[in-house]
Chains A and B, each alone.
Chain A
Amino acid sequence: DTEVTQTPKHLVMGMTNKKSLKCEQHMGHRAMYWYKQKAKKPPELMFVYSYEKLSINESVPSRFSPECPNSSLLNLHLHALQPEDSALYLCASSQTGPSGANVLTFGAGSRLTVL
């Protein structure tokens, strides 16, 4: 299995809703990532988990809450979002090890619209 699966593909939510984005991989990768991408812009790193521990938080607002329940799953919990948070949210995974690698395998993304 060489895929990263993201659900849902599309999500529309109001500013008072609570929702979650889910990501799953079965490649044995021990690093998992959340990126946010606005239209015609590059992906921006949000969070990195390494061996199920949060290793990088790029000063993301607390209305985004990541969770890594086990080595195969990564969640992004969303609460009280703003319309400007509408974007494509990309999950990725990679092997860990010597810092010369870190090739990321991406999921297809979850397109979030906040009304």
Chain B
Amino acid sequence: SQQGEEDPQALSIQEGENATMNCSYKTSINNLQWYRQNSGRGLVHLILIRSNEREKHSGRLRVTLDTSKKSSSLLITASRAADTASYFCATLTGGGNKLTFGTGTQLKVEL
């Protein structure tokens, strides 16, 4: 079952612009993670934010978490053509190892 809904479903921007993706989820979480997937390949972990954190940075990535609204956003600054990929939020729930992925945002960065 799906925990997260992401919007937009697809996003097309010019190189150098910022890209923002949003994720909403339904139940209480332990942490929220963002992953990237290049076409038809495995996913790569980008960043993790814990439920007691509000904002986190890693290089050109900035993630925010609002547990009262059950939402998160991923900002990629100064985008590059190589950032073209699908981006998924994923939530860890319960005390086990269940990581559930959101619907994903397809990002296209054009030269």
Say what secondary structure dominates the interface of chain A: strand
Find residues 67-115 in chain A having any chain B CB closer than 8 Å to their own CB: 88, 90, 92, 94, 96, 99-109, 111
Q: Which segment of B36-44, B54-62, B63-71 sits at the interface? A: B36-44
Q: How far is the CA of A101 from the CA of B96 in the complex (A)?
A: 11
Contact with B along A38-61 (1 / 0, CB 8 A): 000111110010100001100000
A-B interface contact total, Cβ < 8 Å: 67
Q: Which residue of B lies closest to A32 (CB)?
A: B97
- By a CB distance below 8 angstroms, the chain B residues around A106 are 42-44
Among B40, B43, B48, B96, point to the contact of A99 (Cβ < 8 A). B96
For B35, B42, B44, B95, the residue with the greatest tally of chain A CB atoms inside 10 Å of its CB is B42
Listed in ascending order, the chain B residues whose CB lies under 8 Å from chain A are 2, 30-31, 33, 35, 40-45, 48, 50, 88, 92, 94-104
Listed in ascending order, the chain A residues whose CB lies under 8 Å from chain B are 4, 31, 33, 41-45, 48, 50, 55-56, 88, 90, 92, 94, 96, 99-109, 111
